[in-house]
Amino acid sequence: MCPLPKPRQPILCYVTDRRSLPLSTSADSHHLLLDSIASAAAAGADWIQLREKDYSGRDWARLVNESLERVKCVGSSTRILVNDRLDVALACGAGGVHLSENGLPVADACRLRDDFFAASDRPADFLVGLSCHSLGAALGAARAGADYIYFSPIFFTPSKANYGPPQGVERLARICAAVDIPVIAIGGITLENAPECLRDGASGIAAIRLFQESTGSLSQTLHSLHRQAQWADDGGGSVTKV
């Protein structure tokens, strides 16, 4: 894989969680999720991480294929990332895989990706990312060949409560300075605190509730984040690809 070019704006990533969608029930959650994915892509989300951990292999393939079709239908170039299922991501033509810290090792995922594209006619446009909760994990991911990392939780959020107290922006800044790959801040990210993460070196932010529970226009919210003046003035965070 070639080095990733520096972005002109911060990367905004929607992390899906169909069970927390407003008015969602087990009967309609899949369809509501697809609507949410299409809305986020149309509003300007750069990446969408599909994170439905309870899905089976067949459910995953269906979700990835339908998500890619929804993104295409709204005329978006949003990158679809698949949670942990490298096999499904490669087979369905997704834009990357996002690995859990205790899941498939990054080096193995990169090797399998490279082998796949070496035997394929498809262009090798596929990211491998990892969730990290410590400096050691971040350094290890970078050494193993990860294209980017998530660092969390920056602020309190119910979905990350089991990972301990919030890391805070000072620790985020140390992580960003320690690795030369993009760092995406996640965990309790809001429209109000996202600029602080970007000023401290993050290449972007990822969130569930910011996208799924937006009280106003999601497009306006993402546009506001994309045009953060301080982020541009400071030269942005680490390099990445949108």
Asked if pLDDT for residue 113 goes beyond 50, the answer is: yes
The domains located in the chain, with CATH, are 11-226 (3.20.20.70)
Per-residue pLDDT averaged across 17-46, rounded?
Answer: 90
Cα 166 to Cα 163: distance, rounded to the nearest angstrom: 8
Cα–Cα distance measured from residue 204 to residue 152, given in angstroms and rounded to the nearest whole number: 13
226-242 burial by CB neighbour count: b if 16+ within 10 A, else e? bebeebeeeebbbebbb
Residue 216's pLDDT band (cuts 50, 70, 90): confident
- Calculate mean pLDDT across residues 102-115: 97
Beta strands in the chain (DSSP E): 11-15, 47-50, 79-83, 96-99, 127-132, 148-151, 183-186, 204-207
User: What burial class does residue 65 get, using C-beta atoms within 10 Å of its C-beta: 0-12 exposed, 13-18 middle, 19+ buried?
Assistant: middle
- Contact of 191 with 211, CB cutoff 8 Å: no
Whole-angstrom Cα distance, residue 8 to residue 5?
A: 9
Confidence bin at 162 (pLDDT 50/70/90):
confident
What is the percentage of the chain residues whose pLDDT exceeds 70?
Answer: 88
